[in-house]
Amino acid sequence: MKKHIAVLPGDGIGEEVMTEALKVLACIAGRFEHQFVTTHGYVGGAAYERFGTHLPEETLSLCRSADAILFGSVGGLVSEQHLDKWRNCEANSILTLRKTFNFGANFRPVKIYPDLKEMSPLKAEIIDRGVDLLIIRELLGDSYFGEHKTFYQDERRIATDVIMYTEDQVAAVAHVAFKAAGGRRQKVTSVDKANVLDSSKLWRAVVHEVGRNYPEIKLEDMLVDNCAMQLIKDPSQFDVIVTTNMFGDILSDAAAVLPGSLGLLSSASINAEGFGLYEPPGGSAQDIAGTGKANPIAQILSTAQMLRFSFALEQEARAIEQSVETTLKAGYRTHDIYNPKQSAATKLVDCQQMSQQILAHLEAVQIAEPVA
Ligand code: NAD
């Protein structure tokens, strides 16, 4: 298979973790006989310095001509957000890409690795039940795109934000969720606030209509307030969670703390044609940029998601995930997941050494023979 990939490392740790992810991609290309043509583009502060804009036309046209976008992260130090280079950097880069390519669904897998359970804020007995879930967040509707208004009435300020969903928007993301559950543990939890909101009543009705096309998938509804509690109390009950833009924004960030570090998570934003942007959900981590402390796993797992969701290369994606798990099992830890109390059983490594270990396991992964 030959694919063109737009590579946008961005700012902070973006460049260093992307370098490691591209080594993993090159290894996959070699082992599975694919050709991945990678072309770098500027985004975020790095683009601002060169072009005076966070998302130059050159970068957009590179993305338009690619089969997928591999994105690092953008943004400056929190204390420097007032500078022109960083002001609105994230919105100008990521939200513009989302709108330009109509990314309608965001995938956030959340998994607690048994070998890292001491990093999770959850109790061991909860983790031991197994935590491996996928949150799918609708990205093009809800109050983010409805009318926002602040006005005066009787000399008092009033603000309104309109939540709006069309049945087509809900149906599109529901299909994505049922298909994703088909390749997992066959269960979808649809999260809404149907006891209060009309938009949620429509959401629930449409998800059930779509669900009739997938009789093998178990569908359950859950109110968002309950889901927030269940994610902490009993996350093992979930396989695929599908929810609205705002509920997904909040729930996916809550779930992101369960594995114990942002450096372990991946994220994918995908449109109806399967074109996607793959990135770690964390930011540019300027506090550790250039120190070698960045964990490359988030960027490497995002690359695995690109292979799975945009190129349908399931075996290749699994090979990467398996190599990450084996590396963690062998005790290799970057700074963010290192626990000095376990120093006898683990080894502190930097960003590059972590990916070297992952690559060594990837070189040894067994490749299944194609079924005749
Ligand atoms: P952050 O996500 O960059 O970092 C939060 C904490 O997590 C830091 O302590 C950081 O060191 C750690 N961390 C994050 N990724 C890590 C990794 N791969 N390995 C090890 N540790 C990791 O959040 P922040 O510091 O609040 O934001 C920094 C900048 O990133 C800001 O400008 C913010 O606007 C931007 N941001 C960008 C994105 C994006 O590009 N998608 C997302 C969130 C924040």
- pLDDT category of residue 328 using cuts at 50, 70 and 90: very high
Residue 324 has pLDDT above 80, yes or no: yes
The answer to whether the CB of 286 is under 6 A from ligand 1 is: yes
Atom of ligand 1 nearest to the CA of 44: 40
Residue 341 has pLDDT above 90, yes or no: no
Q: Which residues of 34-61 are buried (b: 16+ CB within 10 A; e: fewer)?
A: bebebeebbbbbbbbeeeeebbbeebbe
Strands (DSSP E) found in 183-275: 187-192, 218-223, 240-243, 267-270
**Cβ 9 vs Cβ 345: under 8 Å:** no
Report the alpha-carbon distance of residue 361 to residue 313 in Å, rounded: 18
**Cβ 134 vs Cβ 265: under 8 Å:** no
* pLDDT for position 370: 65
The residue ranking higher by pLDDT, 368 or 59, is 59
Q: Can you say whether the dihedral through the CA atoms of 214, 220, 221, 226 is positive or negative?
A: negative
pLDDT in tens, 151-164: 999 999 999 999 99
Atom of ligand 1 nearest to the CA of 293: 20
Q: What is the dihedral of CA 349, 350, 351, 353, to 10 degrees?
A: -60
Active site residues: 144, 193, 225, 249, 253
pLDDT above 90 covers what percent of the chain? 91
The single-letter code of the amino acid at 217 is I
The answer to whether the CB of 285 is under 6 A from ligand 1 is: yes
Residue 371 has pLDDT above 80, yes or no: no
pLDDT above 70 covers what percent of the chain? 99
* Residue of minimum CA distance from atom 38 in ligand 1: 283
d(CA 97, ligand 1 centre) in Å: 19
d(CA 116, ligand 1 centre) in Å: 21
Residue 339 has pLDDT above 70, yes or no: yes
Average pLDDT of the segment spanning 238-245: 98
CA 240 to chain centre: 14
Residue 7 has pLDDT above 90, yes or no: yes
Phi first, then psi, for residue 48 (nearest 5°) are: -60, -40
Q: Which domains does the chain have, with CATH numbers?
A: 1-107+261-372 (3.40.718.10), 121-258 (3.40.718.10)
Label residue 224 exposed, middle or buried (CB < 10 Å: 0-12, 13-18, 19+): buried
* Residue of minimum CA distance from atom 33 in ligand 1: 75
Task: Using only the alpha carbons of the chain, give its radius of gyration.
Answer: 21
d(CA 284, ligand 1 centre) in Å: 5
Q: What is the pTM of this model?
A: 0.92
Average pLDDT of the segment spanning 87-103: 92
* pLDDT for position 85: 96
Summary mean pLDDT of the chain: 95
Provide the pairing of β-strand 105-111 with 132-138.
Answer: antiparallel
Average pLDDT of the segment spanning 183-192: 97
* pLDDT for position 372: 59
